[in-house]
Amino acid sequence: MKKFHNQGTLWTSIDHIIETPFFVNSELTSLIQIADLYSYSLKRYFENNEDDLLMRIYSRIDRKNGKIVGLRHFTDATCQCIFCKR
Ligand SMILES: [Zn+2]
């Protein structure tokens, strides 16, 4: 985490990450609700091939030079999902 705080990632600086993870009820924090929604939309996309929820937030995923950098799908090279084929 010190390295990330000092140098950031390949794409951006990380100025507001809390080093120690803590657990909180998502009913209490709106940002956790957003993370839950994002995760749920990805689950529905990858497990059920449903893209309705994901497409609602797809344009908000971090990009650099038009390429998505806010999500990486770790799988084999033949994957044709919207994150691997673009
Ligand atoms: Zn993929």
Q: What is the pLDDT of residues 20-71, one digit of tens each?
A: 777 888 888 888 888 899 999 999 999 999 999 999 999 999 898 888 988 9
Whole-angstrom CA distances from 52 to 18, 26, 42 are 31, 22, 10
The C-alpha atoms of residue 26 and residue 32 are separated, in whole angstroms, by: 5
- From ligand 1's centre to the CA of 16, what distance in Å? 29
6-23 residue pLDDT tens: 888 888 888 777 777 778
Taking the C-alpha atoms of residue 4 and residue 40, their distance in angstroms, rounded to an integer, is: 27
CA of 74 to the centre of ligand 1 (A): 7
**pTM, two decimal places:** 0.71
Tell which wins on pLDDT, 5 or 84. Answer: 84
Compute the distance from residue 45 Cα to the ligand 1 centre, in Å.
Answer: 11
CA angle 32, 37, 39 (to 5 degrees): 95
Q: What is the DSSP letter of 67?
A: E
At residue 86, the pLDDT reads: 63
Rounded distance from Cα 18 to ligand 1 centre (Å): 29
